[in-house]
Amino acid sequence: MSTYNMRDFDGSAHDGSDPAALLRLAERLVERLHIEKPALVPQGEIVRDELLYAAQDGLPANRGRIRFALEAIGTGVAAGGGCLILVQEIGRVLEV
């Protein structure tokens, strides 16, 4: 007999990701984008807003939108910069 991770009814997978910590990372990403690459702020806001909506609704975040925004930021920022580190960390935690 096989088992499936059906998640709890509150939408959480109990995979170790802390929604509040992820939201703080996304807020830091938006702040860094304002400094390092203002043209990419809308993509950072997409990440932050998706995580905020998920936390408010108790549902999983829209990983497709987040992945698309993180990829856009990742290709537009300088290697070794603070934004890229935050993008990689958010992507790692969300597994996108």
pLDDT value at position 84? 93
pLDDT value at position 75? 94
Q: What is the pLDDT of residues 20-73, one digit of tens each?
A: 899 999 999 999 999 999 999 999 999 999 999 999 998 899 999 999 999 999
Sketch the domain layout of the chain as residue ranges: 19-94
17, 21, 26, 28: CA torsion to nearest 10: -150
d(CA 95, CA 90) in angstroms, rounded, equals 8
What is the value of pTM for the model shown?
0.79
Q: What is the pLDDT of residues 85-95, one digit of tens each?
A: 999 999 999 98
